[in-house]
């Protein structure tokens, strides 16, 4: 079997018992045993684990998921230490070293911290350590939150150029509708074109989790664009990961795009938070979408938002549909002065010579 880099995400609904809200220790045991087996087979494994808020609530006797940010962060601080201790006890029994990695969105949005995060993961995997990742809920703000661990796991998979992302959840695979409510729901085993996927999915997860099936599909979209195969499968039987890698048709497989993009383009595509929008005329949109050209000021019709040079922006057609995103060479105020003009006119309009391109093709990524 080839040796792969694997990111495995397990949700709160799989880690806890539905009747009590307490940790499902049998499931955790099977998960740990499976990850150790994968490690022994030569695969490089990263675990993205939910559950800190749920564990914290159980420790403090709180019976409902916190609604306010302050309470959620406090409860997460209580739960995170207990959760990692439980993992450490299980992994230590199998002599497998682990590391705790807590991330916020800004850790991946800033290029220098993104690169440093990558080096840390690479070094941990080289040492044979399994990193256990969670969002740093204690310090994250609304503006810099991943929102759910499905998104976090997809961005981690993109960061390390993983071969597979496994999203372990409380259903065995993706269905055309919710099988718990619609007996006519049909299983979906393989997705080759995610934009052609026909499935009715709800936004909500379990009462203790934050991600439903819709967030898993969005996570798959991020991961496959980065060249990572994504599998949705049952969290209570984590040993199925081994079977999937051996070719068994278990769960739902989202096929990755054929070619992997560079690390810089994966960062632009998935990790940075756009600060504004640039609207393009039909000619500029076609040049970017089909010919892979850089964006010139002549093709810009409108500028939206406030941003500085080297911030990330969305490039949209006239209807507002995103066609690409990239790093801009001008601030929004500069861009408003030169939009619609030729590159040769930039010096006269701004009073100094700037870049010929607004977004260079090396800093531009097409929307999936």
| Mean of per-residue pLDDT scores for the chain | 87
Radius of gyration of the chain (CA): 22
Q: What is the mean pLDDT of residues 310-322?
A: 92
Q: What is the mean pLDDT of residues 140-158?
A: 75
**Are 354 and 257 in a shared domain?**
no
Closest CA to 8 of 172, 115, 127, 131: 131
Long-range residue pairs from 283-286, CB within 8 A, at least 24 positions apart, any chain: 285/315, 285/317, 285/318, 285/323
Residue 98 has pLDDT above 70, yes or no: yes
Q: What is the mean pLDDT of residues 66-88?
A: 88
Better pLDDT: 235 or 206? 235
Residue numbers of the domain that contains 311 = 274-366
The domain boundary residue, chosen from 207, 241, 266: 266
Question: Using DSSP, how many helices (H) and how many strands (E) does the chain show?
Answer: 13, 15
**Are 282 and 261 in a shared domain?**
no
* H or E, element range at 314: strand 312-316
Between CA 149 and CA 240 the distance in angstroms is 21
Please state whether beta strands 300-305 and 5-10 pair in parallel, antiparallel, or not at all (unpaired). Answer: unpaired
**Are 246 and 291 in a shared domain?**
no
**Are 49 and 154 in a shared domain?**
yes
Between CA 339 and CA 299 the distance in angstroms is 7
Between CA 307 and CA 310 the distance in angstroms is 9
Across 260-290, b (16+ Cβ under 10 Å) vs e yields bbebebbbbbbbbebebbbbbbeebbebbbe
- Judged on CB neighbours under 10 Å (0-12, 13-18, 19+), 225 is buried
**Are 104 and 34 in a shared domain?**
yes
Q: What is the mean pLDDT of residues 268-275?
A: 82
Between CA 183 and CA 60 the distance in angstroms is 39
Q: Could you give phi then psi for residue 32, rounded to 5 degrees?
A: -60, -45
User: For the segment 195-231, what is each residue's pLDDT rounded down to a tens digit?
Assistant: 777 666 554 444 434 446 888 888 998 899 889 999 9
For residue 15, the model assigns a pLDDT of 87
177 sits in the region (left: phi over 0; alpha: psi -120 to 50; else beta) called beta
The domain boundary residue, chosen from 217, 250, 266: 266
CB-based contacts of 7, cutoff 8 Å, min separation 6: 46, 48, 153, 156, 157, 160, 162, 164, 165, 166, 228
pTM for the complete prediction? Answer: 0.84
The domain boundary residue, chosen from 232, 266, 300: 266
Measured CA to CA in angstroms, residue 335 lies from 89, 284, 306, 319, 349 at distances of 56, 16, 11, 20, 10
Between CA 299 and CA 312 the distance in angstroms is 18
| Number of CB atoms found within 10 A of residue 3's CB | 11
For residue 59, the model assigns a pLDDT of 85
Closest CA to 272 of 158, 132, 194, 362: 158
**Are 283 and 351 in a shared domain?**
yes
CATH number of the domain residue 131 falls in: 3.40.1160.10
Least reliable range by pLDDT among 267-271, 291-295, 343-347: 267-271
Between CA 269 and CA 363 the distance in angstroms is 10
Q: Are 202 and 212 within 8 A, CB to CB?
A: yes
Q: Which residues pair with 342 in a beta bridge?
A: none
For residue 173, the model assigns a pLDDT of 87
**Are 235 and 352 in a shared domain?**
no
Could you identify the residue written with the tokens 């010919």? 291
Number of domain units in the chain: 2
Least reliable range by pLDDT among 70-79, 164-173, 265-274, 340-349: 265-274
**Are 203 and 246 in a shared domain?**
yes
For residue 368, the model assigns a pLDDT of 67
CATH number of the domain residue 328 falls in: 2.30.130.10
Percentage above 90 pLDDT, the chain: 53
Q: Which residues pair with 7 in a beta bridge?
A: 46, 165
Residue 168 has pLDDT above 90, yes or no: yes
**Are 16 and 109 in a shared domain?**
yes
**Are 225 and 283 in a shared domain?**
no
**Are 238 and 290 in a shared domain?**
no
**Are 217 and 340 in a shared domain?**
no
């Amino acid at each position: 079997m080839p040796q792969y880099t694997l990111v495995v995400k397990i949700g709160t609904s799989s880690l806890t018992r539905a009747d009590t809200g307490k940790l499902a220790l049998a499931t955790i045991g099977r998960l740990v045993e499976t990850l150790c087996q994968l490690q022994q087979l030569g695969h490089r494994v990263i675990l993205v684990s939910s559950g800190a808020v749920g564990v914290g609530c159980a420790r403090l006797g709180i019976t409902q998921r916190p609604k306010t940010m302050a309470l959620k962060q406090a409860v997460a601080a209580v739960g995170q230490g207990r959760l990692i201790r439980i993992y450490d006890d299980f992994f230590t029994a199998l002599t497998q070293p682990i590391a705790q990695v807590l991330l916020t969105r800004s850790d991946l949005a800033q290029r220098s911290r993104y690169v440093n995060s990558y080096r840390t993961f690479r070094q941990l995997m080289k040492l044979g350590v399994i990193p256990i990742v969670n969002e740093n809920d204690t310090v994250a703000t609304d503006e810099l939150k991943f929102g759910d661990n499905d998104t976090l796991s997809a961005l981690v998979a993109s960061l390390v150029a993983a071969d597979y992302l496994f999203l372990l959840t409380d259903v065995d695979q993706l269905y055309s509708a919710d099988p718990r409510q619609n007996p006519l729901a049909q299983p979906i085993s393989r997705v080759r074109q995610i934009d052609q996927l026909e499935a009715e999915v709800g936004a909500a997860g379990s009462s203790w989790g934050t991600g439903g099936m819709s967030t898993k599909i969005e996570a798959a979209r991020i991961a496959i664009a980065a060249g990572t195969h994504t599998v949705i499968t049952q969290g209570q039987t984590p040993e199925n990961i081994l079977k999937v890698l051996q070719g068994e048709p278990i769960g739902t497989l989202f096929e990755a795009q054929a070619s992997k993009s560079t690390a810089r383009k994966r960062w632009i595509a998935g990790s940075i938070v756009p600060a504004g929008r640039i609207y393009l005329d039909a000619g500029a949109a076609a040049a970017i979408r089909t010919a892979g050209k850089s964006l010139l000021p002549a093709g810009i019709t409108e500028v939206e938002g406030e941003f500085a040079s080297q911030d990330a922006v969305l490039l949209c057609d006239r209807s507002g549909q995103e066609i690409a995103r990239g790093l801009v060479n001008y601030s929004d105020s500069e861009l408003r002065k030169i939009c619609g003009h030729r590159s040769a006119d930039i010096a006269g309009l701004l009073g100094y010579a700037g870049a010929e391109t607004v977004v260079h093709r090396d800093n531009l990524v097409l929307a999936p």
